[in-house]
Amino acid sequence: MFPATVPLKKPVVKLPSVPPCKNPTHLLPSPPTSSSAVASSVKEMAEEAVLGFLEHNDEIVDSGEFAVEKGINHEEIVNVVKSLNGFGFVVAQDIKRERWQLTTEGKTYAASGSPEYQLLMAIPPEGISRVELQKKLGDSVFKIGCQQATKNKWVEMGKTQVSRKVARVDDNVKALLIKINDGEALNQEDIDALKRRKLISPQIWKGYSVKKGPNYAPKRRKPATDLTRENLQSGEWKELLFKEYNFLAKGFPVEGGYLHPLLKVRRQIQMIFLQMGFEEMPTNNYVESSFWNFDALFQPQQHPARDSHDTFFLREPSTTKTLPEDYVERVKQIHESGGHGSRGYGYDWKREEANKNLLRTHTTAVSSRMLYALAKKPFEAKRYYSIDRVFRNEAVDRTHLAEFHQIEGLICDRGLSLGDLQGVLHDFFSRLGMSKLRFKPAYNPYTEPSMEIFGYHEGLKKWVEVGNSGMFRPEMLLPMGLPEDVTVIAWGLSLERPTMILYGIDNIRDLFGHKVDLSLIKSNPICRIGL
Ligand code: PHE
């Protein structure tokens, strides 16, 4: 169940000792087949050298000196020591040394003398003009040489002439630089002086002192990862060193059981509605009659949304069988001639049009059914919500599909006002992480007034349209039989839009449909906070 794929922490079995490796080069494969073969054999050689040495000695005092002695690259020794240390074969202690090395400038002076010495040597006993001296030495040596030689009181710098003050000097700087180059120690004062002139720079050298570790063995054997039939038959299993299980290794990712981002956001929104005291409406009918989808919502029969270019009508069964007849009659009335103070639309309402089956274009069709059912009983205030699929015959593009999920909320109570609607919307959207809202007058056949909702998106730093809302018209509510003082405030939005914003998806086809990359479903975050 747990693949033993990660190196063991401790070797389990101590191995019999092997003679130390006196001449490690015999391990080199000849001829080397590939560069990795060479690399691994150099590694083996270094490892044998370290383990072999420790078998008969207490300590490798300095890995640097050890590397020189064994003729092995120090870096290789360091790598091997680190690995052996990790497995407890050895215990390694850091050694850090600061060494001085010559800078490029320092190197030139070590070779051809310090500028001040070169300068002095270039001045003849009778003196020389500045111009000529500069020509002889070059700009840089002349400039630095003048400074240093003056400081040393070796020369007299006249306006035009330069003359010696001393006959002979030692080139101390050059001598110091050579000492540094040979690795000799200098006193701090000299070091500081050279450092100030940027003739030397520090070099940090890192190495180790190495001792036997708790798991020391003279040779590292590759541990077996599987116990085979052959191991058991031969009895070899008794001696074998097995790789330890690594219970901390990450297992294989579990396939299946991933939640789609839409489902996660749906859940988040569902929780918000429930916390706000809303009940879920039964939306398990994609097929709806035109009556409940449009007519009951006071949407006239010649409204462009009722065209087959916008709505998917059903061929089979093409019409609905049952509608509540007395209510149908009241709806016909209100469309044709109005009532309750409305003039209606003044057209010839046709039952055949209302009977046509379609794929619901909004979940407001369910809301109309729910309100009608509510009107049949003694009045009770309600908060309803739904989140489900709706269908529109639309051209598919980056932001539109022919189907999407609609989120809908409504509150039905006596004397609700537009202020109540705005208050509820603020509550709802701030729970989604959007506390700044703006409203824009809009039009829906079934609401008056109607408002588009805009929210300020803190992440995108702009106002984005987040939904549509309004108060259901009396022309819709009164024929249902709801009391006159009952008003219904409602709003709707898509589930896809907030999900795309939350999950940073800019093409709806990457979220829904046959083009969705399955890895999106597998690797998307558990949840996203704030819209
Ligand atoms: N049904 C509307 C739509 O399709 C949303 C809405 C619901 C608007 C309720 C107002 C009230 O966009």
pLDDT given at position 229: 95
> Which residues lie across from 224 on neighbouring strands?
242
Q: What is the pTM of this model?
A: 0.59
- Give nearest CA residue, ligand 1 atom 10: 469
pLDDT given at position 254: 76
Question: What is the mean pLDDT for each group of 10 consecutive residues in the chain (531 residues)?
Answer: 36 36 37 57 91 94 93 94 92 90 94 93 91 92 93 91 89 93 88 93 92 91 88 92 87 83 94 98 97 98 92 97 96 96 96 97 97 97 98 91 96 97 96 92 97 90 94 97 97 93 89 89 82 68
φ, ψ for residue 444 (rounded to 5)?
A: -135, 145
Give the residue extent of every domain in the chain: 41-101+205-238, 119-170, 262-287+361-523
pLDDT given at position 144: 94
Q: What CATH number does domain 41-101+205-238 carry, 3.30.1370.240, 3.30.365.10, 3.40.710.10, 2.40.50.1020?
A: 3.30.1370.240
- Give nearest CA residue, ligand 1 atom 2: 492
- Give nearest CA residue, ligand 1 atom 4: 362
Domain 262-287+361-523 has CATH 3.30.70.20: no
Please calculate the CA angle 427-432-438 and round it to the nearest 5 degrees: 60
Cα 433–chain centre separation: 21
Q: Is the bond leading into 449 cis (omega within 30 degrees of zero)?
A: yes
Q: How far is the CA of 343 from the centre of ligand 1 (A)?
A: 23
Q: How far is the CA of 445 from the centre of ligand 1 (A)?
A: 10
Helix (H, G, I), strand (E, B) or coil at 26: helix
* Cβ 110 vs Cβ 178: under 8 Å: yes
Which of the 8 DSSP states describes residue 81?
Answer: H
Q: pLDDT tens digits for 56-100?
A: 999 999 999 999 999 999 999 999 999 999 889 999 999 998 888
Closest ligand 1 atom to residue 364 Cα is: 1
pLDDT given at position 507: 92
| CA atoms of 439 and 489, how far apart (whole Å) | 15
Instruction: Give CA separation, 55 vs 44, 59, 170, 212, in Å.
Output: 16, 10, 53, 8
Mutate which of 451, 468, 494 for ligand 1? The one with the most ligand atoms within 8 Å of its CB, which is 468
pLDDT given at position 271: 96
Residues near ligand 1 with C-beta < 6 Å? 362, 364, 408, 444, 447, 468-470, 490-492
| CA atoms of 507 and 293, how far apart (whole Å) | 29
